[in-house]
Structure 1
């Protein structure tokens, strides 16, 4: 089983690689060696972790909040990351029900495609996860609309 330290270091590495090592150095003012120490598995660097301000800088430039998601995962918290930043908001519960049905159909289609050979590959799992998160967002929109109508 992976330790908490190792888990955080793996996600710190993913964050730096997402941004790119050169860009991460420029953005944070840290050297390649310093950034490397933050995610190194060597015993001599075992107690070194990326400072939170560095995490914030890098996650602002990254495609995904790797370290924040890891911290949430360690606490059993589910985050909803909406990379789409949709401009159009939900237009009510009726539209939400239609969108929910469409997203669920897309999830089932992805699942059917993924399980066709009897196993789900890593890429197929990632596509299923994306569809699941999209479905979760529709449910959240629906919840907010229902709460608004209940006032």
Structure 2
């Protein structure tokens, strides 16, 4: 019997999908990893016939590197009850929060609004538009988490 639930499996699939999107998509990412685009698509697919196909750990790390964000690693850590913190010496919480941070958050939020507005012009959100919206949401989340760390909050 598996230890992770179906919901957790779907969480991993969603994180894989978001990381792949930020890494440029399967067609581009396949050239910097050992797995081809069709397999990458299976790892991100929530379809029942692909439910047992998950991204290998080495490919997940490469994907997060290409995405420039630990999307899959963060999902795994959260499932285990942990959170990731940067080790690169960029101690965000030592820098005071400023108006510049507020402007960055506003700019990122406006990009989310723009992506949603463009996607809903025809009342249908296609795969490419969904990818754009999720990329903008991820950028906004990163900006918010940066400020949250610096004011002593969670993330």
TM-score band, normalised by shorter chain? 0.5 to 0.7
Cα distance in 2 between the residues matched to 1:56 and 1:128: 23
Deviation at 1:81, TM superposition (A): 3.3
Q: In structure 2, how many angstroms separate the alpha carbons of the residues matched to 1:53 and 1:11?
A: 15
TM-score (norm 1): 0.60
Give 2:121's aligned residue: none
Supply the distance in 2 between the matched residues of 1:23 and 1:136 (Cα, whole angstroms): 38
Report deviation, 1:136: 4.8
Query: 2:147 and 2:63 mapped to 1: Cα distance?
Result: 26
| 1:68-87, Cα deviation, whole Å (9 max, x unpaired) | 1001111221211378x64x
Runs of 5+ consecutive residues of structure 2 not aligned to the other structure: 1-5, 107-112, 114-136
Instruction: Report whether the alignment pairs 1:58 with 2:63.
Output: yes
Structure 1: gaps (5+ residues): 90-95, 115-120, 138-151
Residues in 1 aligned to 2:18 and 2:87: alpha-carbon distance in whole angstroms:
19
Q: What root-mean-square deviation, in Å, do the aligned CA atoms of Structure 1 and Structure 2 show? A: 3.3
Aligned residues: 112
- TM-score normalised according to structure 2 size: 0.58
Runs of 4+ with deviation above 4 angstroms? none
Q: For residue 21 of structure 2, what is the aligned residue in structure 1?
A: 17
